[in-house]
A = this chain, B = another copy of it.
Amino acid sequence: MVKVGIVGGTGYTGVELLRLLAGHDKAEVILITSRAECGRRVDEIFPSLRGHYDLAFSDPDVKQLAACDIVFFATPHNVAMHLVPELLRADTRVIDLSADYRIRDAQLWSQWYGEPHASPDLLSSAVYGLPEINRQQIASAQLTACPGCYPTSVQLGFIPLLANGLIDPTQLIASSASGASGAGRQAKIDNLLSEVSDSFKAYAVAGHRHLPEIEQGLSDVAGTEVKLTFVPHLLPIVRGIHSTLFAQLSGPVDDLQELFESFYADEPFVDVLPAGVFPQTRSVKGSNRCQLSVMRPQNRDTVVVTVVEDNLVKGASGQAIQNMNIMLGLPEGMGLANIGLSP
């Protein structure tokens, strides 16, 4: 069994790693850390896990982590970048679910995250863990930076169009909406049920931290600088991201439906819906699947792509395990067979 460590196990991506890895045939979580809950049993905080783990949270200790084959960081940004260098030196492979290694340009990172990067020399060797684009590099990566939840959905939707040069890359628009679990398990008034439930709003319109990450990824695919207007919204649900993407066609196109279907034909976790069918977040709740559709309303020049994923699965912990499987040469879907919990 592959020995797995998790840093920061009390957040939503941490418990989601535990949920998914409990059903993984080749990996076993042997270590899970949390400063705040050190000593407390995992299943005391997460009663859904009773009977599946006989583990308690421990203080993060680099030596113990280095004894794992692979370590997941399920932490806020600004944690991994301090610990990862030592783990890599010990030949432990790392999958970082936080933002620390997603952006290649250290200065750009600093600008959006408000402090200098602690291990900028690793940025160039970190592999951006979007398997649909970087599967080969992930296979040999020592350090994989998992994409953010919004960026996964926005990139998977735009990539077939940009890769084929069909749209104006300077005028992309993403109107995305996320369930409240995306804000993490933190004690903030803003995320109380009484504040968020039965309501809907846009936020971070001036600039969300996922914007530079998305523009970097899309620019790589487009081979030119991409400009995106990105407006995230907060949904009064726990799980689920829905991105509605708009782009201007730059010339005549054939069959967009066929283009998307063939682009993702071999992808196990990207499902292009039949023409005229639009995805709903509930269909992928708890599953590692991204479902999407493409349409050109009124046959005009604006193309609309709608994309759904579970922000905690394909948008975080599921994709992290998908990356782990690729890195370890395991079947890519191992431990990821869950079907969306619908209704």
Residues of chain A having any CB pair with chain B under 8 Å: 12, 15, 19, 22-23, 46-52, 171, 173, 175, 177, 179-181, 183, 185-189, 191-203, 205-207, 211, 227, 229-231, 233, 235-240, 242, 244, 246, 248, 271, 273, 276-287, 291, 293, 295, 297-298, 300, 302, 304, 306, 308, 312, 337-343
In the assembled complex, the Cα of A15 lies from the Cα of B199 at a distance in Å of 17
Residues A185 and B192 in contact, CB atoms below 8 Å apart: yes
A-B contact pairs, 20 of them (CB 8 A): A47-B342, A181-B343, A183-B194, A187-B192, A197-B237, A198-B198, A198-B282, A200-B237, A200-B242, A201-B281, A201-B306, A201-B308, A202-B278, A205-B304, A229-B246, A230-B297, A231-B244, A286-B286, A286-B341, A312-B343
A328 CB to closest chain B CB, in angstroms? 22
In the assembled complex, the Cα of A189 lies from the Cα of B186 at a distance in Å of 6
Residues A284 and B194 in contact, CB atoms below 8 Å apart: no
Residues B238 and A302 in contact, CB atoms below 8 Å apart: no
A285 CB to closest chain B CB, in angstroms? 7
In the assembled complex, the Cα of A278 lies from the Cα of B194 at a distance in Å of 18
In the assembled complex, the Cα of A284 lies from the Cα of B52 at a distance in Å of 13
Known: A192-B191, A236-B237, A238-B343. A197 touches B200 (CB 8 A): no
Extra contacts, 4 of them, besides A48-B340, A236-B236 (Cβ < 8 A), are A15-B342, A205-B278, A205-B293, A206-B297
A50 CB to closest chain B CB, in angstroms? 6
In the assembled complex, the Cα of A248 lies from the Cα of B282 at a distance in Å of 33
Q: Which chain B residues border A187 with CB–CB below 8 Å?
A: 187-189, 192
In the assembled complex, the Cα of A265 lies from the Cα of B239 at a distance in Å of 34
Residues B341 and A194 in contact, CB atoms below 8 Å apart: no
Q: Which chain B residues border A308 with CB–CB below 8 Å?
A: 200-201
A301 CB to closest chain B CB, in angstroms? 8
In the assembled complex, the Cα of A283 lies from the Cα of B188 at a distance in Å of 19
Q: Which chain B residues border A271 with CB–CB below 8 Å?
A: 50-51
Q: Which chain B residues border A280 with CB–CB below 8 Å?
A: 47, 199-201
In the assembled complex, the Cα of A81 lies from the Cα of B229 at a distance in Å of 43
Residues A283 and B47 in contact, CB atoms below 8 Å apart: yes
Top 3 A-B residue pairs of the complex, sorted by shortest distance between their CB atoms: A48-B340, A199-B282, A201-B280
Q: Which chain B residues border A343 with CB–CB below 8 Å?
A: 12, 15, 181, 185, 194-195, 238-239, 312
A52 CB to closest chain B CB, in angstroms? 6
Known: A47-B273, A181-B194. A235 touches B282 (CB 8 A): no
In the assembled complex, the Cα of A11 lies from the Cα of B41 at a distance in Å of 34
A250 CB to closest chain B CB, in angstroms? 13
In the assembled complex, the Cα of A278 lies from the Cα of B201 at a distance in Å of 7
Q: Which chain B residues border A206 with CB–CB below 8 Å?
A: 276, 295, 297
Known: A246-B229, A297-B205. A191 touches B188 (CB 8 A): no
Known: A279-B47, A297-B205, A339-B22. A180 touches B198 (CB 8 A): no
In the assembled complex, the Cα of A179 lies from the Cα of B196 at a distance in Å of 13
